Structure 1
Amino acid sequence: MFTGYSAEPLTRDVMWTALSWPAIEHLDLRADRSSVVADAVVVALDGRPTRLGYRIVAAPDWTVRRLELRPHGEPDLVLERRAGDRWYDGAGVERHELAGCVDVDIALTPFTNTLPIRRVGLAAGDSADLRMVYVQVEHGLDVIAVDQYYMRLGADTYRYRSGDFTADLTVDVDGLVIDYPGLWRRLV
């Protein structure tokens, strides 16, 4: 297992811009010995105007505990992961189809790639097949479980695959995406 990502407290203010459609994301990331909290907003024009706020709370090992999505003009979505990698909605109803998932992937942000990158800690040449909670935001909030693949190609590059889609992501020393070819580029 790769242990190169620092366990020291982390405070980052990050912005990305989309490359194929008008969009920008602002992320406030705080990690310490008790939790990781990502609080962000994405504003996009991807077929229709979209404003999505999200908050992810994870354990210090980057294992997701809670996801809160706040889409403008639509009902909020809350998902919480409990013992045995079982997921529950905001009303406490178990989402059986998400059982076994640890990480989340929100379709409209590059940040959620950081979660498995940090949590799994791959060494160069190593790979992992992961079951993810995937949130599609294009036409409302659709939540499904999907299989994804990560392979660490080098010190700052990961191959990401989901279904037929593959991309080689460039990340910084904290595992945050710098370049997501054709989709996102970090501004700061």
Structure 2
Amino acid sequence: MMTGDGVERELMWSALSWPATEHLMLRAGADGVRADGVIVALDGRPTRVAYRIEAGPDWSVRRLTLTTNGEPDLVLERRDGQRWYDAAGAERADLAGCVDVDIALTPFTNTLPIRRLGLSVGEASADLRIVYVQVDRGLTTEAVSQRYVRLADSLYRYSSGDFTADLTVDADGLVVDYPELWRRIA
């Protein structure tokens, strides 16, 4: 279980609808959270996506680095409260107000708002503005609305637009089962 004492976890997921796996090394402690993930997928052609997410001890994202071929292709940093900046230091006003990121190819990024919100059973989040990264569309980013409802100790309903999924998580809020998309294998 992740506490302020500093815990490291290593996890793997397998995609259920296409050939893909993800390996994640997660470190959480009093000074913050660092997640290093690698997704290898075959969707017409082999694809390797590596990401690093750095967050505060409250799980609010500070920085995202995403690489698809050895060099950082996308760098976003949250500073000054809820203002985002790209690798060149230019402000991304279109992402203002977002605290979390959601990388379309990984179940891990659902853990960020789950941990940050700390919802009680039956409690719903307000609509959250989240930086959504679409890897298959040239690493496009946009602010989207998402909502989480804690249905039971280990079950959350996630919704964004017309999409809804009931996510089973472990005691640390890490996805175990994302129906029809991902299942944790280690």
1:116 maps to which residue? 113
For the pair 1:86 / 2:83, whether they are aligned, the reply is: yes
* TM-score of the two chains, using structure 1 as the length reference: 0.94
Counterparts of 1:152 and 1:55 in 2: how far apart (Å)? 27
Counterparts of 1:162 and 1:5 in 2: how far apart (Å)? 27
1:175 maps to which residue? 173
Counterparts of 2:94 and 2:141 in 1: how far apart (Å)? 9
**Which deviations, in whole Å up to 9, do the C-alpha atoms of 1:135-179 show, x marking residues without a partner?**
001131000000001000000000000111100000001100000
2:185 maps to which residue? 187
Q: 1:6 to 1:75 in 2, by over 3 A?
A: closer
For the pair 1:48 / 2:50, whether they are aligned, the reply is: no
1:31 maps to which residue? 28
Structure 2: 5+ residue stretches without partners: none
> Given residue 13 of structure 2, which amino acid in structure 1 is its aligned partner?
W
Number of positions where the alignment pairs a residue of Structure 1 with one of Structure 2: 185
Offset of 1:74 from its aligned partner?
7.4
Superposition RMSD in Å: 1.5
Q: 1:13 to 1:75 in 2, by over 3 A?
A: closer
Query: Which of the numbers 76, 99, 102 marks the counterpart of 1:102?
Result: 99
* TM-score of the two chains, using structure 2 as the length reference: 0.95
Counterparts of 2:152 and 2:6 in 1: how far apart (Å)? 24
Q: Give 3-state SS (helix, strand or coil) of 1:24's partner.
A: strand
Structure 1: 5+ residue stretches without partners: none
- 1:143-158 to structure 2, matched below 5 A, reads 143-158=141-156
Seq. identity, %: 68
Query: Which of the numbers 50, 56, 59 marks the counterpart of 1:59?
Result: 56
Counterparts of 2:141 and 2:44 in 1: how far apart (Å)? 20
Q: 1:8 to 1:156 in 2, by over 3 A?
A: farther
Counterparts of 1:181 and 1:100 in 2: how far apart (Å)? 29
Q: Displaced runs of 4+ in structure 1, greater than 6 A?
A: none
